[in-house]
Amino acid sequence: MRPNLKGKHLLTTQDWTKEDIEDVMEVTRKLKEDRYLNIPHDDILKARTFFMLFFEESTRTRNAFEAGITQLGGHAHYLTPKATQIDHGETEQDTIKVLSRYGDGMGIRRSEPGGSKYMKTLASFADIPVLNMQCDDYHPTQALADLFTIKEKFQNDLKNKKFVISWTYAPNYIRPLSMAQSLALLMPRFDMDVVLAHPEEFRLKPEIISQAEKNAEKAGVNFEITHDMDEAFADAHIVYPKSWGPIMHTEDEQEGLDLIDKYPNWVVDQDKMDLTDPESLYMHCMPFDRGVEVTSEVADGEHSVIYDQAENRLHLQKALMALTMA
């Protein structure tokens, strides 16, 4: 394991160099290969403890980390604010200073407004690596697993592949910006031409867009924004349609929900997929509104790699723990 990654926080992929991320990709590949060959690697984090603090529920993130640390020889503690003294007002400093004495790493999921600030504060006092399991601004573990999946499918040949991040119609509640923002930041760094598609009211944070443009410029690729979903899907190699709220347009929840309902045609069906490259991938971090934002024909179709993505969360998160905690 690379010694410069031991103890390193992962709050956003922007904090890690491209070389660091390539190391993560290589360790992920090796751990996945070992699992398929039934080669145990439970000596990597033997007797190590990983704390998982969840402010909301999770399926893939929690179970990938919990299964992963077990397979590496360690143990996970599932924590919630209610099951700790956090709900009673214990500070980030006091929480992490104590847990740093008990264990070897910590993951936090807090995607409500203020989640990113909470994680940064807690990490500043931590003596163990802190991994962002999703906040209001970033979802780095998912984005890295997505990158690994794309590299697998295209045999590492990502140069000028057209990667589309598209808003989709998904009603009933306001979803965070974190997934779209993490993809916009990460994918240009690995030679993909990125197209961000959304209705005008659903823009991302300007500082994120600015950084994504800089990442693209440095890599010599394109970063574009369009408000036409069909235009975005045309000849795309990878499409990643995912809903998020009009958070930069309004803070009023009902107004936000009404704006979502303004665009019911921003959905992924076979007609949309027929616009893409014949060998294109349909990706989604899950969960999705099946039959609403994407049809089952697409989600279960030949282009879909959603379950490969979900599986790769396990191998990727194992690699992150191994690299930062071993």
Question: The domain spanning residue 211 has which CATH number?
Answer: 3.40.50.1370
Q: Residues 264-303: pLDDT tens digits?
A: 999 999 999 999 999 999 999 999 999 999 999 999 999 9
In terms of residue numbers, what domain contains 282? Answer: 143-305
Those residues with Cβ within 8 angstroms of residue 67's Cβ, 6 or more apart along the chain or in another chain: 314
Contact 106, 129 (CB under 8 A): yes
Specify whether 82 is located in the same domain as 156: no
- pLDDT higher than threshold 90 for residue 3: no
Contact 185, 147 (CB under 8 A): no
Give percent of the chain above pLDDT 70. 99
Specify whether 206 is located in the same domain as 92: no
- pLDDT higher than threshold 80 for residue 1: no
DSSP string, 257-277: HHHHTT-TT--B-HHHHTTS-
Q: Residues 19-44: pLDDT tens digits?
A: 999 999 999 999 999 999 999 999 99
Specify whether 64 is located in the same domain as 173: no
Q: Residues 151-198: pLDDT tens digits?
A: 999 999 999 999 999 999 999 999 999 999 999 999 999 999 999 999
Q: Judge if the upstream peptide bond of residue 241 is cis by omega within 30 degrees of 0.
A: no
Query: Among residues 250, 200, 187, which one has the least CA distance to residue 229?
Result: 200
Specify whether 99 is located in the same domain as 229: no
Q: What is the pLDDT of residue 4?
A: 85
Average per-residue pLDDT in the chain?
97
Element (H, E) at 131: strand 130-135
Specify whether 71 is located in the same domain as 126: yes
**CA atoms of 107 and 51, how far apart (whole Å):** 6
In this prediction the pTM is 0.97
* pLDDT-based confidence at residue 2 (cuts at 50, 70, 90): low
